[in-house]
């Protein structure tokens, strides 16, 4: 059972992620997509008569149940079956992050950056709050995220999803190389 | 509760994202710096498995377990596919999370991600508010 606690290699995790696509389709003709749940929550709580948020969100409530499951899956994988060791990222990434003032990896996330008191610092606020805002704004603008475009859209050979996925990466690569160092320096 | 089955698919999806370390901020930094194959390997195996499944569903004309027809996902082009995706990419580099991992991170014990998720919900709301002023 040791393999359950160890991190799963990409050639195990990747195919299993891909299998979510047919699983949802065969169970109920549902399309994999997570960013739509952010829209669902807005539509349920504060629709404000905005066209994008005025629709019968209850008809799509399956996806809220789905993400409740994703949260529970996170607990199963990250607590019950937690990897006792730090994430084994490459030595060059570790060196780089240390040069930017971060500690050695000690879990899935740098706890010195992702904690409640860090929210009150400029760095923590930008990383978590501004970052979260961009994720929510950008994915709705793109009408999909890494799951809806990157996995489902690409699997369905939809070229706009290829444009979207390439743009996700372009944005992330540019930001990581040219802007993130200034934020780490705060 | 006809939606209960999706809870189990969600648990499966969240478990795989977490054990595959796709929810790890470190893995995302490493990916954007091209310093490991791990995350690229996940995408490069997930997509062919999804594509092959879709091909088989269409080829064999499979129905859902309830007997309903399955229709193929269609993703039309609009300029937001570029503009919005770039904006999301910036946020992905910062938070180390796309929307799926946000939920899984909360479950895995990083309760502060509730704040990030709330910011993402607010971001979605702001897009809905400003949509009419933005190029489609």
Is residue B4 classed as helix, strand or coil in its secondary structure?
Answer: helix
Query: What is the torsional sign of CA B81, A31, B104, A47?
Result: positive
| pTM given for the model | 0.96
Alpha-carbon distance of A133 to A119, in angstroms, equals: 14
Q: What is the pLDDT of residues B48-80, one digit of tens each?
A: 999 999 999 999 999 999 999 999 999 999 999
Look at phi and psi of residue B109 and say left if phi exceeds 0, alpha if psi is from -120 to 50, else beta.
left
State whether A76 and B93 contact (CB < 8 Å). Answer: no
Among B116, B3, B109, B92, residue whose Cα is nearest residue A72 = B109
Among A86, A112, A85, A117, residue whose Cα is nearest residue A100 = A112
Q: Is A10 on the interface with B (CB under 8 A)?
A: yes
Distance from CA of B72 to the nearest CA of A (A): 7
Q: So what's the pLDDT on residue B40?
A: 97
Largest CA-CA distance found in chain B, in angstroms, rounded: 46
Contact, B70 vs A26, CB < 8 A? yes
Distance from CA of B119 to the nearest CA of A (A): 5
Dihedral, CA atoms, A3, B25, B50, A36, nearest 10 degrees? 130
Chain A contact probe: residue of B2, B7, B12, B15 with most A CBs at under 10 A = B15
Q: What does each C-alpha distance from A63 to A109, A159, B121 come to in angstroms?
A: 26, 25, 15
The band of B46, judged by pLDDT with boundaries at 50, 70 and 90, is very high
Q: So what's the pLDDT on residue A2?
A: 78
Q: So what's the pLDDT on residue A3?
A: 81
Among A130, A170, A167, residue whose Cα is nearest residue B80 = A167
Tell me which chain B residue has its CA closest to the CA of residue A126. Answer: B94
Alpha-carbon distance of A176 to A167, in angstroms, equals: 14
**Which residues, 6 or more positions from A155, have their beta carbon under 8 angstroms from its beta carbon?**
A18, A21, B47, B49, B50, B51, B53, B54
Contact, B106 vs A71, CB < 8 A? yes
State whether A52 and B121 contact (CB < 8 Å). Answer: no
Query: What is the torsional sign of CA B19, A64, A31, A159?
Result: negative
Contact, A118 vs A112, CB < 8 A? yes
A70 beta partners: none
Distance from CA of B133 to the nearest CA of A (A): 12
Average pLDDT rounded to a whole number, residues B4-19: 97
Whole-number average pLDDT of chain B: 96
The pLDDT tens digits along chain A (186 residues) read 778 899 999 999 999 999 999 999 999 999 999 999 999 999 999 999 999 999 999 999 999 999 999 999 999 999 999 998 889 999 999 999 999 999 999 899 999 999 999 999 999 999 999 999 999 999 999 999 999 999 999 999 999 999 999 999 999 999 999 999 999 998
State whether A160 and B118 contact (CB < 8 Å). Answer: no
Is residue A61 classed as helix, strand or coil in its secondary structure?
Answer: coil
Contact, B30 vs A90, CB < 8 A? yes
Give the one of A8, A74, A180 whose C-beta lies nearest to B104's C-beta.
A74
In the stretch 149-178 of chain A, residues with CB closer than 8 A to chain B read 149-161, 163-177
pLDDT beyond 80 at B12: yes
Tell me which chain A residue has its CA closest to the CA of residue B55. Answer: A156
Contact, B25 vs B113, CB < 8 A? no
- Quickly tell me which residue has 């995790």 as its tokens: A13
Q: What is B78-98 written as a DSSP string?
A: -THHHHHHHHHHHHHHHHS--
The band of B15, judged by pLDDT with boundaries at 50, 70 and 90, is very high
Q: For a pLDDT cut of 70, what percent of chain A falls above it?
A: 100
pLDDT beyond 80 at B33: yes
Give the CB-side neighbour count of residue A71, counting CA atoms within 13 A.
15
Q: Is A143 on the interface with B (CB under 8 A)?
A: yes
pLDDT beyond 90 at B109: yes
Q: Look up the ipTM and state it.
A: 0.96
């Amino acid at each position: 059972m040791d393999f359950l606690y160890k991190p799963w290699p990409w050639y195990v995790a990747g195919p299993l992620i891909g299998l979510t696509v047919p699983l949802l389709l065969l169970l109920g003709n549902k399309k994999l997509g997570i960013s739509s749940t952010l829209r669902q929550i807005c539509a349920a709580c504060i629709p404000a008569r905005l066209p994008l948020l005025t629709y019968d969100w209850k008809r799509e409530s399956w996806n809220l149940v789905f993400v409740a499951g994703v949260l529970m899956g996170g607990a199963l994988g990250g607590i019950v079956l937690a990897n006792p060791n730090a994430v084994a990222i490459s030595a060059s990434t570790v060196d780089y992050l240390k040069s930017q003032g971060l500690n050695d990896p000690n879990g899935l996330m740098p706890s010195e950056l992702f904690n409640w008191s860090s929210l009150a610092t400029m760095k923590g606020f930008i990383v978590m709050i501004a970052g979260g805002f961009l994720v929510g704004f950008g994915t709705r603008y793109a009408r999909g995220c890494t799951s809806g475009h990157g996995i489902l859209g690409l699997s369905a050979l939809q070229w706009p999803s290829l444009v979207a996925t390439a743009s996700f990466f372009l944005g992330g690569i540019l930001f990581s190389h040219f802007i993130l160092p200034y934020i780490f320096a705060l | 509760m006809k939606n209960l089955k999706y809870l189990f698919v969600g648990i499966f999806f969240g478990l795989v994202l977490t054990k595959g370390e796709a929810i790890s901020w470190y893995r995302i930094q490493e990916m954007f710096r091209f310093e490991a194959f791990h995350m690229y390997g996940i995408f490069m195996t997930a997509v062919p498995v999804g594509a092959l499944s879709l091909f088989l569903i269409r080829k064999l004309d499979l129905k859902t377990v309830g007997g309903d027809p399955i229709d193929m996902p269609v993703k039309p082009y609009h300029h937001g596919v570029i503009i919005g995706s770039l904006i999301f990419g910036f946020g992905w580099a910062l938070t180390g999370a796309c929307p799926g991992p946000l939920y899984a991170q909360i479950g895995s014990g990083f309760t502060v991600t509730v704040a990030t998720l709330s910011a993402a919900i607010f971001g979605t709301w702001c897009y809905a508010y400003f949509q009419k002023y933005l190029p489609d």
